[in-house]
Amino acid sequence: MKELLNSKFTGSVSVPGDKSITHRAMMLGALTKGETKITAPLISDDTLRTLACMEALGATSRKTENDYIISSPGRDQLKSPEAQLYTGNSGTTTRLLTGLITGLGLNASMNGDSSIEKRPMDRVAAPLREMGADITLKDDKYPPIQIQSSPLHTIEYIMPVASAQVKSAILFAGLFLDGKTIIHEESPSRNHSELMLSQFGADIKTEGNSVILNGGRELVNSDIVVPGDISSAAFLMVLAAITPDSDITLNNVSLNDSRSGIIDVFEDMGVDFEITRHNNSGELYGDIRVKYTENLKPFNISGDLIPRLIDEIPVLTLLALSADGESRVDDAEELRFKETDRIRAVVDELNKIGVSFDEREDGYTVKPAEIPDISKISFKGYHDHRIIMMLIIMAISSNQEIHIDDPSAISISYPNFLDDLKSIRGDK
């Protein structure tokens, strides 16, 4: 990390492919007979877990220079896996696959790492059981998950929490059922499943905050070009905004409206940035240029904005430290159910550098703060990629090395994080 100190950050980076889109492309590619080409996917611990699970069901994959090709014998030929499926640290793999395996009428058992074993799965089991699924959970809440094939029917479901993982699990279970699966959301969650299903020929539409899937159609392969992940770009965007003399451009980043809440926050805080949009019929994407900005205004994040930036809240908290007043996060209780309790983790780790928080169940108020000497402090990463990368950005923006107990979880979503940082460092 030494080589990242005393730097300004300038130049351009192509951040890795979008994690949510890559998971879905691997899953739908495995469901659809023939070959699906995925260009510029994210290849990381989480997405490799999805790929391995789809191979255990009978799909195969191969890599070319820029692409991954998924080959499927067709959904009727997929089979119940012999061994327990292992989903590692990936909530998206675990929840979406629960819906998909249910919809395929297969039997499977699934488990992940110690973080997955603590994440609530009753939120997926409840609607799937309403559809007729036979699902068993530990303590009726946690993995391991046992799925037994059983007859299914469509449902109309009101989502109790904004969750794209739950919404997608229901859609995947309803894909091959005759009739309409209808889902109502209070605050819309990311819509990558809806867009990709439509691209694969499913009869699916969105009306206001409701999604209506008319099931039973065969899917048809479609090649997927994966844009850069705005949740990964967020670390570099914040770094540029708070590090003097920095000016970074992130190329071809997804600007899907259900994911781009960070852009709204940058606008409200007065960050100096510009976006160049590119045309795309499916997922929107573009280049984001961010420059160092003084005199940032504080943010207020709540309500419908939360699902649009849920994974960016830890790193946005760093931006709040540079603002000229108190910033607030409300309505974000979901953060407590991520890879770790991210409200606890952010508060505990930034308390160590003297940041003052007023913590609530659903968020916090945070006061601006200077980052002090951190050389004698030991930080915890909680095996949570987004907490670890937030801490690293905190350190290099203040020109310091950092001691984190175990930073290896970076490879869950951004294996080249440190190399990308090195590629844009410049002497002051």
Pick out the residues of the known binding site for phosphoenolpyruvate.
Answer: 19, 91, 119, 165, 342, 386
Could you tell me the smallest distance in angstroms from the CB atom of residue 256 to ligand S3P?
A: 12
Selected binder of ligand S3P within 185, 194, 247, 334 (CB under 6 A): 334
Token reading at 41: 């996917």
**Candidates 163-171, 212-220, 390-398, 415-423; binding stretch for ligand S3P (CB under 6 A):** 163-171
**Candidates 142-150, 159-167, 210-218, 348-356; binding stretch for ligand S3P (CB under 6 A):** 159-167
Of the pair 395, 410, the CB lying nearest ligand S3P is at 410
* Residues 309 and 328 sit within 8 Å (Cβ to Cβ): no
The SS3 of residue 295 is coil
End-to-end CA distance of the chain: 16
* Residues 270 and 292 sit within 8 Å (Cβ to Cβ): no
The catalytically annotated residue of 229, 311, 384, 420 is 311
310 lies in the binding site for ligand S3P (CB under 6 A): yes
H/E segment holding residue 8:
strand 7-13
Could you tell me the smallest distance in angstroms from the CB atom of residue 398 to ligand S3P?
A: 27
User: In which residue are the tokens 């659903």 written?
Assistant: 362
User: Taking Cα atoms as reference points, which of 413, 300, 388 lies closest to residue 41?
Assistant: 413
Strand partners, 290: 248, 273
**Candidates 134-142, 162-170, 197-205, 340-348; binding stretch for ligand S3P (CB under 6 A):** 162-170
Largest CA distance in the chain: 65
Query: What type of residue sits at position 104?
Result: L
* Residues 92 and 19 sit within 8 Å (Cβ to Cβ): yes
Could you tell me the smallest distance in angstroms from the CB atom of residue 168 to ligand S3P?
A: 6
Give catalytic status of residue 311 as yes or no: yes
163 lies in the binding site for ligand S3P (CB under 6 A): yes
Site size toward ligand S3P (CB under 6 A) is: 12
Of the pair 32, 92, the CB lying nearest ligand S3P is at 92
* Residues 89 and 116 sit within 8 Å (Cβ to Cβ): yes
* Residues 400 and 5 sit within 8 Å (Cβ to Cβ): yes
Selected binder of ligand S3P within 32, 165, 246, 252 (CB under 6 A): 165
Interacting positions 184-203 with ligand S3P (CB under 6 A): 189-190
Give the interface with ligand S3P as residue ranges (CB under 6 A): 20, 23, 92, 163-165, 168, 189-190, 310-311, 334
Catalytic residues: 311
